[in-house]
Chains A and B, each alone.
Chain A
Amino acid sequence: MEKLSKLSDYKLTLIYALRDLSRNYKKISSIILTLFISLFILSSIFTIEESLNNELNNNSRALLGGDIEIDYNRNIGNLKLINQVKEFATVSQMVEFSTMISTTDKIENKSIFSRIKTVDENYPLFGKVGYEPSGVFEELQTTENTILVNENIFKNLNLKLNDKIKVQDKLFTVIGIVKSVPDIGGAFVFGDFALAGKQTLELLKLNNLGSFLNYEYKVRFNEGDNPKTSSKRIEQLFKDEKKVRLKYHEKSDGPLKRIIDNFSQFLSLVSISAMLIAGIGIANTLLSFINQNNMSIAVKKSLGFYSRDIKTVYYLQLLILLFLISTAAYSFSFFLVPIVDVYLSAGLGLNIEGSFSILNYFKVFSVGLLVLIIFSIPTINAIDQVKASNLFRNVFQNLQFYYSKQSIILSLFLLSILISLFTIGSARPIYSLGYFGAFFICLLVFYLLSNLIIKLFKGLKEHPNISIKVSVKNITQTKSITPITIMSLGLGVTLLLTLAFVGSNFKREIVKSIPKLAPDYFFIGIQSDERQIFEDLIFDMDKEANLEIVPMVSTGIVKINGIDPNTYIDSSNGSSWATRNDRRSSWADKVLKDNPIVEGKWWDLSRPDKLQISLDSKVAKDLNIKIGDIFTLNIYGREIEGEIVNFRLVDYRDFTINFAMLLNPSFAKNIPHEYLATAKFKSLENFNEIALLDKMPSLSIIKITDYLEKVTDLLNKVFIAVTVISAITIVIGLIVISSAIIVQGKIKEFQNLIFKILGFSKSEVVLSSIIEFFIIFTSIILIALFFAVIGSQFIIENIFQITWKFDLVIFLQVTIGIGLATLILIMITNYKYLSPKVYPLIRNQ
């Protein structure tokens, strides 16, 4: 007979795989569903992250406000140099400052702490300002004392167009509402802000530290000019300027990108958890599928098929399936982009569009492939157990997972690649590794738990109650779904409980604990000659007010041991902020109660005329500072060398006055300074904000509860989003359990038939299922609770550094919710096996 070439072998394998898949896909529907859901989540994360990054990259100039920003911080800067830049580029000057905005002619006047951006006629150099009504933005430059406020200020101060508001002691007319600005900074994302014309600055007294004044010059290169050459020219011009910082548009998305990276890293870990849980189900369903094909495999072997050829056909089916599912999942992820876009454009003014990335598609496919192979190796290897000789005996034994040394090594190798994919290049690789470590420890413990339960119940003496007897038998039987239920549900419950505990602790700390401990108000910008007036005013309002006033001076670290820190400290360093721009520092005679010394000694009083510095221990650790190191500080234009004498443990989260640097008072008291104060009132009603501002118009007042409300609101939204996404692990777990029950369906049906013949009632069968569920679920909850307590306590106490407390209500809500969902699913899936038809079963049809 005529033979074909070797190439036809591959073609044939593909034909078999396609044929088998097209005829069997219904039997592996749970594999398709779980794989699709988990790959869809992963694809969505990748697609949205890619779209966001593209948006940030495409709009980096708009986000910065120019090709380059020349940032002089508190100083107006070298205008001669700025004018030289204007010769070859367009420059937009702007000044940002923080101050109070108050109403003046209302029955009950109110004030609000805001960031004001004064802009010139060139603003914005890139992007657009959103405002209403039309024409008011242009009016800012032409009409003096006009202002645009954001929607929140407009609403909270109960304003109407053309109302008068007071900024410090000057009156401004609100001519419109500013909805968005292209150059979004931190304060402009979360805080309240307003836009004013360039002449505003001259009207106000803005030289105090409390106004957080910032002079910025945004530069747009002329069209046709080489950006690199223009950048170099600017660098050259400003190379000898010490107080200037050049910011480039390529790095303008730093903080936002870090948030996106961290968030997407977390969500990727959740989605890989869902995939690994799905993997448990895939292995189980695949084994059942191969068991159903036991005879066909034996026939093929009897015809001379090699075991490896049969396995290749199965692997190829999985590969085809994965290709289709990953393509569908990746394609469907683009439908989510417009939904996310609605929220992002409303919240951040960002507009994202789905953009296809072959790399992302490849990543989704690779992750799916790795999970599929890892979990199908022991299953497909079970094909080796099928013997053609079974055909003579007409007996087909149930196949078991088959682990050889080789397959274990291969699985571990693939698993390490999978972990590497999610670890290397992630925002925080150590956290990812820690997460995987915790995940696999949990998996192992849940597996051991399932074995322990089976062993314990096997050893139990027979119970007289028939329902209990049956449920115990179901748990301990060879093909019991106990291990798969415990592992798949246990991991999901652990993850959800941990997140719920983290969320509830965080919320409790912000909503309850912090307001109790934290002051009611922060007062910034008290001039040295106003201290007594301020103190008197506060105590006039509330004699029992708890007032803390500390001096404040602006200091900038110019050198550390003679070297400019900005030349070697990277922006990714957790404490790089301490070396950038001027920071506020203070001084104190005695060690502060909530700032204990962790290394070194308090001030050396024998050297009163030498500058001594006390540094935040975390900053010291991050910047590798040792006791005895020398800082060169810029204090009001003078460079002064100071020695680091001690490190303090500073906790900025307690909302009291904290400084990274404290100076020795004997040296610092002669430096011109302002004061910063906090106050906690006996009763908040005693405090009259407007009266205080009338007397001290340059004062800035920050109401802590306002900020806490905003933070709580934001955190609530984040935790809801995170919990909803994490619930996907429960959904996958439930699908896995449901498919495991379906896999067991024939056994269940036969069992129920025997019960029916023996006169066992339907309610007793249902009761046995409920008892079985309660035994398994209680065990899961106990272990999940154990892990969730350890996990959440670690996160809360070590990462967020706040107090952890057990929340019984959250625990009950989560466990009862998941428990009910699981019980209902088990009942629904088992329902069809409850009333088996006797005739077809006893005729073996």
Chain B
Amino acid sequence: MKTLTIILTDGPYISQYADMAYKIASRALNLFQVNIFLYLDAVHIPKSGQNPSQFKNTGLLFQELADRGAVVRACARCAAARGYRAEEDGSCPDYLPGIKITSLYDLAEMLEKSDRLIAL
């Protein structure tokens, strides 16, 4: 199976950006191994406890992607800057399950192993 990596750099709700990424990733999971790297403000996407009154819960959408086999990782430097603390295994008490904080070197590894790249 070919591998698709999606890189996101913006957070949820300010636009439909994360929503669109979810739709692309969701469809792509039928054809690709999907990796999603959350960079810069995108590290807010998997925060637990989101409660939007008018929109779909973006965090839950990305948790669903992880449950379906997507590898969803957030940049450690960006996460630390925004107050998300990683445990030793990369999990984060403030994140939804299945989504981990990791080194930026994992992005390079994802890119090297990818057949396709979508940077939104």
Instruction: Answer yes or no: are A and B bound together in one complex.
Output: no
| A interface residue numbers (CB < 8 A to B) | none
